[in-house]
Structure 1
Amino acid sequence: MSRFIKSFGYAFSGLGHAIKTQLNFRVHLLALALVTASGYWIKLTITEWLWIIGAAGMVLVTELLNTAIEVLTDLVSPELHPKAKIIKDVSAAAVLVAALTAVAIGLIILIPKLLCHAA
């Protein structure tokens, strides 16, 4: 049981590392805070919240995996190498795809509601 509890400590340590060192992760958290505030203001439905939570989780998970892949790549290939660049570029592309998908989901949900609130 103590190993199980320690694993949470390791996970929170990794999360703290990402927050402290990764600007993009902090930007995603700020965007999530703004979307959350907007969602409360316009009273999203449970289904809409599920889509927002899923999209946000997808972005944060891919950002964390991207960070881990970049650190691992730097560890095994400290010198510049064309394949190391491809690895980093592809993992960054995964974050981009996740973020663009989340933006599309957010816009589909939020724009109609914001337009109704403005009217």
Structure 2
Amino acid sequence: MFNLRKLLLSFKFAFEGIVHSIKTEQNIRFHLLATMVVMIAGLLTGLDKGEWIIIFILIGGMLSLELINTAIERVVDLVSPGWQPLAKQAKDAAAGAVLVFATISAIIGILIFLPKWF
């Protein structure tokens, strides 16, 4: 029914995936740097509770999407070691999803921060 060992192993494997992605993927490191900048800016700006909730949702979504993109890239590379047009399309679409979310996140960040600064 409930297996604590399996649950703890699943957390261990998830953590390993996050650490490996941070070590090997420059884009997730960039997003972590952006996260630190946004957090510091939020503290200095004095965001309210609702604004912090939005910021945390965006940060969590961005980092999660970057991890999914990395997973898709790895699976595509595994099943299609040579250059294939469909493999490229899959990887490009996953990267595009990250770009769309990052762009929308930046716009929302501007809408939150700009009125407080000016």
Normalised TM-score (structure 1): 0.95
Residue 17 of structure 1 deviates from its aligned partner by 0.7
Match of 1:51 in 2: 54
Q: Please give the alpha-carbon distance, in whole angstroms, between the structure 2 residues aligned to 1:103 and 1:84.
A: 29
- Give the % identical residues: 44
1:114 Cα offset (Å): 1.8
Q: How does 1:42-81 map to 2 (within 5 A)?
A: 42-81=45-84
Measured in 2, the distance between the counterparts of 1:21 and 1:96 equals 19
What code does the residue aligned with 2:25 have?
Answer: Q
Gapped regions of structure 1 (runs ≥ 5)? none
Letter in 2 for 1:8: F
Structure 2 stretches of 5 or more lacking a match? none
Q: What CA RMSD, in Å, does the superposition of the two structures yield over aligned residues?
A: 0.6
Letter matched to residue 116 of structure 2: K
Task: Normalising by structure 2, report the TM-score.
Answer: 0.95
Residue type of the alignment partner of 2:83: L
Whole-angstrom CA distance in 1 between matches of 2:77 and 2:11? 25
In 2, distance between residues paired with 1:18 and 1:45?
32
CA distance in 2 between partners of 1:57 and 1:100 (Å): 15
Shift of 1:58: 1.2
What is the CA-CA distance between 1:56 and the residue it aligns to?
Answer: 1.0
2:6 matches 1:3: yes
2:91 is matched with 88
